[in-house]
Amino acid sequence: MKNPEVPARLWLAKEAPNYSDSPIWPDVSSGLGLQQVLDKGLGELSGGELQRVVVAAALLRKADLYVLDEPMAYLDVEQRIAVAKTIRRIIEESESAALIVEHDIAMLDYMSNSLMVFLGEPGVKGEAQGPMDMRSGMNAFLKWVDVTLRREPKTGRPRINKPGSVLDREQKEAGEYYYYVG
């Protein structure tokens, strides 16, 4: 991305040749909301717009394993959800695997079917656990941070329970920090 005047469309064509002929292009384009940014110069794009173009370039390359580091950086909440769902759908449909580093627990919930949990003291020592299924991984992590999650009934979105609330206490007593259904 050396020339900020290069339109995103041309940069994408360089990074993912024949992207517009790819069978996944319509899904990537609509899921990442790219139509309104493709004719803008790279230097004109906001951080979120640029992030979506770069994620598209990665997904449009055929691979057995995709490694994505913070693919939702610079995106607002609605964009994060759309991008997370698009990433998951593309990875599943391509029968590939992805290793995704993400610190937004809700986005991990949308994208993942298994987790590796890293516990410890940042910069001092750590321990990797997994890979493990979502329930086991999320329960291990949420117990470590002493947080319980529920699903919002209307939207299905993950929500953190208020510490000490009835739901929080019930879930902790049951050992279910991740979406307890009692």
pLDDT at 180: 75
Q: Which CATH superfamily is domain 1-103 in?
A: P-loop containing nucleotide triphosphate hydrolases (3.40.50.300)
pLDDT digits (tens, 9 = 90+) for 50-100: 999 999 999 999 999 999 999 999 999 899 999 999 999 999 999 999 999
Q: Is the pLDDT of residue 182 over 70?
A: no
Q: Report CA dihedral (2, 72, 68, 62) to the nearest 10 degrees.
A: -80
pLDDT category of residue 163 using cuts at 50, 70 and 90: very high
The neighbour count for residue 48, using CB atoms within 10 Å, is 18
Please write down the long-range contacts of 69-73, taking CB distance under 8 Å and 24 or more positions apart: 69/100, 69/101, 70/101, 70/102, 70/103, 71/100, 71/102, 72/102, 72/104, 72/107, 73/47
101-159 pLDDT, tens digit per residue, is 998 888 988 899 999 999 999 899 999 999 999 999 999 999 999 999 999 888 888 89
User: pLDDT per residue over 3-42, tens digit each?
Assistant: 788 999 999 999 999 888 999 999 999 999 999 999 999 9
pTM: 0.85
Question: Please, where in the chain does CATH 3.40.50.300 lie?
Answer: 1-103
CA distance 141 to 68: 21
